[in-house]
Amino acid sequence: MEMTEAELLALVEAGEGKTLEFKRGVQRGEKLARTLAAFANTRGGILLVGIGDDGALLGAPRPRESARALVEIAAELVEPTLTIEVSIVRALEKAIVCCSVPLSGARPHAVVRDDGTREIVVRAGSSNRAAGERAIAEMRVRPRAFTELELAVLAWVGRRTAVKHPATPDDFAQEHGIGKQRARNAFGALERAGKLVAHGVGVLRTYRTG
């Protein structure tokens, strides 16, 4: 995910939440794996490395090494292996590692703990917690038939993805003359079904086909 300095600063200003987490650096692998897996199992999200808990821009230690470490953690400490997008963004003369995790169509993802056991986690507010049996069952539900609106959204996002144009529910709503909330509901349903991949949070959230 390519992010501008202005977009990154807007995320930091919004603060941590269900789809956004700050880390000072890449340290304990299991803890970071929990965040990546929880994002993938819940709604997707963004992990920013080089940001203090209070939102202070500290800069990521050894940003390129930190970026590589995140990719390795997603591949080795999350099952099934998780594909993430990692980039380095400069903001206020600090290098910040931006890790974007889409809602996964291969849910549920488990964290490989230090003792070798596995745990399925989800996002709850700005923290991660073990998933209950009901949440795990919902991740494994067979896909339902799509509505006419959802099929229209899939086709529209597919065309936007092909030409590398951002796709947002509000743009779809404007072009098709429907309510913004109705469009957002359709996009959200397709994301949960694994048909659309979302990046960013809030007003910066865009979609592409999976």
Which amino acid is present at 31? Answer: K
Residue 39: which residues within 8 A CB-CB, separation 6 or more? Answer: 19, 45, 47, 101, 103, 123
Given a cut of 70, is residue 196 above it in pLDDT?
yes
Give the DSSP H/E element, type plus range, for residue 210: none
Q: What total of structural domains would you count in the chain?
A: 2
Query: What's the pLDDT tens digit per position in 81-92?
Result: 998 989 999 999
What's the rounded Cα separation, in Å, for the pair 44 and 179?
A: 24
Per-residue confidence (pLDDT) for residue 204, from 0 to 100: 74
Q: What is the CATH number of the domain that holds 178?
A: 1.10.10.10
Residue 126 pLDDT > 80: yes
Tell whether the model's pLDDT for residue 142 goes beyond 70: no
Reference 108, options 120, 123, 125; nearest CA is 120
Q: What percent of the chain has pLDDT over 90?
A: 60
Q: Tell me the chain's radius of gyration from C-alpha atoms.
A: 17
- Does the pLDDT of residue 36 top 80, yes or no? yes
Say if residues 57 and 97 touch (Cβ distance below 8 Å).
no
20 plus 56 within the same structural domain: yes
Which domain-ending residue is among 98, 122, 139? 139
Q: How confident is the model at residue 166 (pLDDT cuts 50, 70, 90)?
A: confident
Distance between CA atoms of residues 180 and 176, nearest Å = 10
Q: What's the confidence (pLDDT) of residue 209?
A: 83
Residue-wise pLDDT for 45-96, tens only, equals 889 999 999 999 999 999 999 999 999 999 999 999 998 989 999 999 999 9
Same domain (yes/no): 169, 125 = no
Check residues 67 and 27 and name the one with the higher pLDDT: 67
> Cα(52)–Cα(55) distance, rounded to whole angstroms?
5
Name the residue range of residue 109's domain.
5-139
Quick check: 28 pLDDT over 90?
no
